[in-house]
Structure 1
Amino acid sequence: MGGDQVEEAVAGCVAALRPAVERDWEGTKAGGLDWSCRDTALHVADDLVAYAANLAGRAQDGWVPFGLTLDDGTDNAGLLQVVEAAGALLAAAVRTAPRDARAFHPYPFGSADREGFAAMGVAEVLLHTHDIARGLELAYEPAEELAGSVLTWLFPHVRPGQAAWPTLLWATGRGELPGRAPVTGWRWRNNLVLPTERLTLVGVRPAAARDLRLGGDGGFEWIEGGPFQGTRDAAGMVVKAYEAGVLRPEFGLFVLVRREDGRAVGGMGFHGAPDEEGRAEVGYDLVEAARGRGYATEALRALSRWALARDDVRLLTATVDGENLPSQAVVTRAGFHRATVEEERTAHEQQDVERANALRLYLRRA
């Protein structure tokens, strides 16, 4: 997801709407919206410029305080030119932003990275072009791959359907899908990022998780020897949960990125969302070259603080091999304590007895 996708989305928008520039956009409502077609097109341009400005300016506390207005007398053809220019600005901002750049966006965690801003720009264009085309009774359907990218980057909580475009329309309250209830309220979701002194824990989206599972780098620059197999296995868990429609992305996988050079050194995350009793299990691994430097402890402390500050998490667990003394030291330094014999027996009662006896259970409570 990047500048190319932004430009592709905008080109599709302009191609779909240009045949109707001589019609009355101001007096025609856009699909199911309260806005006119003209207001909706201006909204698209305004959002594209706002995303570009926030990303380029690294805004941290709110939107850059300006708005987009049209010159008096601007016709519909001129408005489409503004949309094209705004898309070009966002594409340029995305292409020139560093990998670790983040800027303000309110939902749900207060910021987005360059891929997130690109995805939001594409989503605005695709969805509102659909709205305008409906109002003007024009045919419009974006490329399936483009709609699918929006789903995997911004809607990780939505179970994918047989076709991406109808699924995206359904997920945003614009259509129906067989077997699924109508959507009456929705939000997209940028990924969660947690900073520490030396690391950044970057939430992994389904698209990146799929790449990691298949042997790729997930869009990260890894130190030599990475990623470790445990990270790839955890990425597979994320993909499985996404495909089943049960993924809560903030309780998925995080890649540990070293702040000094932007290189990934390991993975850490949850084995799933907290259960009804507020229990969640954590796991982690580091590339061998990064071990022995306290990275895992630093990251686990940050992830644990974030989780236990939530209302839906009351207990974190970590299962460590009995012979893995370095990993046991990590969880202990991160505030976990060894479970009692009874607690271990209860936790392992569904596991193979021989395997369970080789494991050690550690707990950290809110």
Structure 2
Amino acid sequence: FFPSELNLSGGQQNPPGSDSSLSRAAHTSVAVALGFILVLGILGNFLLLLVFSRYPGLRTPANLLLVNISVSDMLVCLFGTPLSFAASVRGRWLTGSYGCRWYGFSNALFGVVSLVSLSLLSFERYAMLLSGSQLSSSHYRRARLSVAFSWLYSLAWTSPPLLGWSSYGPEGPGTVCSVQWQRRSVTARSYIVCLFVFCLLLPLLLMFFCYGRILLAIKGVTRQSQAEGRILLMVVAMVTGYLLCWTPYGVVAMLASFGRPGAVPPAAALIPALLAKTSTVLNPVICVLLNNQFSRCFLDMISCSSEDSPADVSSSRSIWAQKMPTEEPNTNLALLPSTDHNIQIPVQV
């Protein structure tokens, strides 16, 4: 359930540099899949970050957290996926024990940042719903603190294996590394339980609570705007996509940790591991397609001329900036009255 591959087979480890039990064809297939994930993940997240950097008006509190997710996904693509791709091409781990530990730690760190950021994004939207006020400097300060918290929280829970509480090591077919879930010691299992509770269960509960409350509030709104519908669809799609990517991985991980040894063969274990890595590709796609601000800015950026731009998007950066929310209070924030609740729902348009 975390962005680093497991010893999903639960069997004998392959030391770094040794040949794995997978066939050459299986290694080639995995390498091709990882190659696509690597290219699409880097390209998608780079374009999203480029759009964000070129249009300062996009820097709303919620979008800052979306960018934090994109940064962590990009770092997975840069520092993790190339190592597993090269190992799959050669059929063995290539960077030794230190590279193995770095791979396991970095993938876990960046992945937990993404999951925690998703939960903080849900809290940010829920807090805006409760406040029912226009954007102010306090909202941006809270978003920046949330970004910093996501990194510090992830670092606190992914660094212990480097210090002796569990460990990072080679996994499954010998071409990936992660937390050694298959260890049966009390120390290793206590770390697994804590990681499950504090880095998966609690963030998911926070997301479900916040989005559940938002859904209940929206059901009582007399006139729901299209912008709010798109925002809600985007966050639900991101959470659903993340869960679809990581649920198979989490199930097999728990089998490796607490099931009988050898319950899952290495070849079958590669499928959920590859599904997990596709989360780095899905997030920027969902963001561009379902976030109206990002999509309009993206179309404007790639337009060759003003005539090719959408009617509601000017190719002039100065004019566009005037249409977007800035660091000042957002004058384009609509408030939707609720018939069932004594609250107002802020809608960014």
Q: TM-score range by the shorter chain?
A: under 0.3
**Structure with bigger gyration radius:** 1
TM-score by length of 2: 0.26
- Relative contact order, CA 8 A, sep 6+: which one is greater? 2
Q: Which has the higher strand share?
A: 1
TM-score by length of 1: 0.25
